C-alpha cells in the first residue's frame, strides 16, 4: 500500500479531528481555545529561550496529537540522526512482520562477526550458542541502543525497505544510509539524517495507526516504550508512559518520541549538533521536554477556565 505525503497528512488530520471530538467538551469551547493559545505562546517562548541559549545548533518539533498543532524551531534543518533512526527501523520491522516478510518470533543465533562497537549486550553473549528472536533484538536496539542488534535487523529487513517506508510517507530527508558504527561510510558522507519535523510526522502517523493499524501500532509502542536512558523521560513523572529513542554521536545529542500526557499525548523531537558540551546539550533537551509536558499536562487535565479536573 503506497502513501503520499498528501494522503498521510489527510489521514493525520482525520485522526486528530476524531481525537479532539473525543476529548472533554470544555476543550472545544471558545474560552478554552483562547486560554490554551495563550499557554501555547508561553511554551513557544520557553522553547525559543532554550534554543537561543544552546551552544550549538538545535532543532525542535512538537506536535499536539489531538489537534495537530505544531511548534517548530529550526524544524526543517537537516541533522545527523544518531540512534533516533532506529525509530524507522523498528517501524519497518513491525510492518514486515505484519506482511510476513519476517516474523518477530524468528530465531537468530549470535555470531561473533556481527559484533560492533556500542553493543553492551551482544558482545557479552556466546557466539554460535545464544539464540534470540527478532523481537529480542528489537528490544535490545531500543532499550540499550545495541548497535550489533540493530545491524542484524538492518540485514534482515534491508535498508532499502526501511527507506521505502519513509518514501511512502512522503519524508524526503529522513534516510538510513549506513549501518551502525560504519565510520568509513560516515566519513564518505553517507550519514543517517532527518529533520525534527519529519521524525515528528513519522511518530504522529505511527501513533494514529496510519502506518501499522491498531495491532501493529500497539506492538510498535510496546517496544518503543521499553525503559531506557532518555533525556525526555528523565524529567517527567514516573507514572507517564514515554516512548522515545535518544541518540548520540560526538557533537550530537538527540531524543525523539511520543509522550502520553493525560488526555493530551504529543510527539516531540529535539535534535542538536555542533555541540561542545554533551551534558549541556542533554540538559537542554530535558528542558524543552519539561516545558512541553507542563503545557500538555495542564491543557489535558483542565476545565475551560484552567481548573484541574479529575
DSSP states of 162-221 as a string?
A: HHHHHHHTT-SS-B--S-TT-HHHHHTT---EE-HHHHHHHHHHHHTTTTTHHHHHHHHH
- How sure is the predictor about 309, in pLDDT bands with cuts at 50, 70 and 90? confident
Band of the pLDDT at 308, cuts 50, 70, 90?
Answer: confident
pLDDT, tens digit, 9 for 90 and up, residues 212-236: 999 999 999 999 999 999 999 999 9
- Dihedral (C-alpha) 219, 202, 82, 113: value to the nearest 10 degrees? 50
**Residues 263-295: pLDDT tens digits?**
999 999 999 999 999 999 999 999 999 999 999
DSSP 282: H
Banded model confidence at residue 11, pLDDT cuts 50, 70, 90: low
Closest CA to 148 of 125, 119, 177: 119
Q: Alpha helices of 225-304 — where are they, by DSSP H?
A: 278-301
147 band by pLDDT with thresholds 50, 70 and 90:
very high
**The pLDDT of residue 228:** 95
pLDDT of residue 29: 80
pLDDT at 1 over 50: no
Query: H-helix or E-strand containing 149?
Result: helix 147-157
User: In percent, how much of the chain has pLDDT > 70?
Assistant: 91
pLDDT reported for residue 74: 98
Predicted pLDDT of residue 286: 98
Contact between 70 and 61 under an 8 Å Cβ cutoff? The reply is yes
Q: Does the pLDDT value for residue 174 go beyond 90?
A: yes
pLDDT in tens, 98-132: 999 999 999 999 999 999 998 889 999 999 999 99
Q: Which residue has the higher pLDDT, 26 or 166?
A: 166
- pLDDT confidence tier of residue 54, bands split at 50, 70 and 90: very high
According to the model, what pLDDT value does residue 2 have?
A: 47
Least confident of 11-15, 102-106, 178-182, 257-261: 11-15
The answer to whether 73 and 60 are in contact (CB under 8 A) is: yes
Residues 68, 61: Cα–Cα separation, whole Å: 12
Instruction: Compute how many other C-beta atoms are within 10 angstroms of the C-beta atom of residue 157.
Output: 20
Q: What is the structure's pLDDT at 306?
A: 87
* 69-92 pLDDT per residue, tens: 999 999 999 999 999 999 999 999
Whether 13 has a pLDDT exceeding 80, the answer reads no
Q: Under a CB-based contact definition with an 8 Å cutoff, are residues 150 and 85 in contact?
A: no
Grid-cell match 560516515, residue found:
186
Residue 99's pLDDT is 96
Angstrom distance (rounded) from CA 52 to CA 50: 6
pLDDT range class, residue 17, cuts 50, 70, 90: low
Q: Is the pLDDT of residue 20 over 60?
A: no
Helix (H, G, I), strand (E, B) or coil at 160: helix
For the chain, the average pLDDT equals: 93
Helix (H, G, I), strand (E, B) or coil at 228: coil
Please give the pLDDT value at position 276. 96
Amino acid at each position: 500500500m503506497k502513501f503520499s505525503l498528501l494522503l498521510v497528512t489527510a489521514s493525520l488530520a482525520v485522526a486528530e479531528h476524531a481525537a479532539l471530538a473525543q476529548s472533554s467538551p470544555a476543550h472545544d469551547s471558545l474560552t478554552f481555545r483562547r486560554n490554551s493559545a495563550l499557554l501555547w505562546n508561553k511554551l513557544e517562548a520557553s522553547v525559543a529561550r532554550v534554543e537561543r541559549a544552546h551552544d550549538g545548533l538545535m532543532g525542535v518539533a512538537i506536535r499536539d496529537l489531538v489537534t495537530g498543532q505544531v511548534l517548530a524551531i529550526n524544524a526543517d534543518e537537516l541533522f545527523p540522526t544518531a540512534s533516533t533512526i532506529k525509530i524507522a527501523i523498528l517501524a519497518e520491522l513491525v510492518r514486515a512482520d505484519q506482511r510476513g516478510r519476517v516474523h518477530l518470533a524468528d530465531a537468530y543465533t549470535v555470531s561473533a562477526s556481527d559484533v560492533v562497537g556500542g553493543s553492551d549486550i551482544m558482545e557479552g553473549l556466546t557466539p554460535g550458542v545464544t539464540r534470540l528472536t527478532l523481537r529480542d533484538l528489537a528490544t535490545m536496539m531500543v532499550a540499550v541502543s545495541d548497535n550489533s542488534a540493530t545491524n542484524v535487523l538492518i540485514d534482515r529487513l534491508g535498508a532499502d525497505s526501511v527507506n521505502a517506508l519513509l518514501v511512502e510517507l512522503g519524508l524526503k530527508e529522513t534516510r538510513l544510509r549506513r549501518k551502525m558504527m560504519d565510520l568509513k561510510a560516515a566519513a564518505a558522507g553517507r550519514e543517517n539524517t532527518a529533520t525534527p519535523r519529519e521524525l515528528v510526522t513519522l511518530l504522529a502517523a505511527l501513533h494514529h495507526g496510519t502506518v501499522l493499524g491498531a495491532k501493529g501500532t500497539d506492538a510498535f509502542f510496546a517496544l518503543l516504550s521499553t525503559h531506557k536512558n532518555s533525556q525526555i523521560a528523565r524529567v517527567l513523572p514516573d507514572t507517564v508512559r514515554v516512548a522515545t529513542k535518544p541518540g548520540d554521536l560526538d557533537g550530537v545529542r538527540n531524543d525523539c518520541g511520543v509522550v502520553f500526557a493525560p488526555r493530551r499525548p504529543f510527539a516531540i523531537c529535539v535534535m542538536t549538533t555542533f555541540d561542545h558540551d554533551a551534558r549541556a546539550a542533554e540538559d537542554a533537551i530535558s528542558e524543552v521536554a519539561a516545558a512541553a509536558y507542563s503545557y500538555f499536562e495542564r491543557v489535558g487535565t483542565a476545565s475551560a477556565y484552567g481548573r484541574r479536573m479529575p
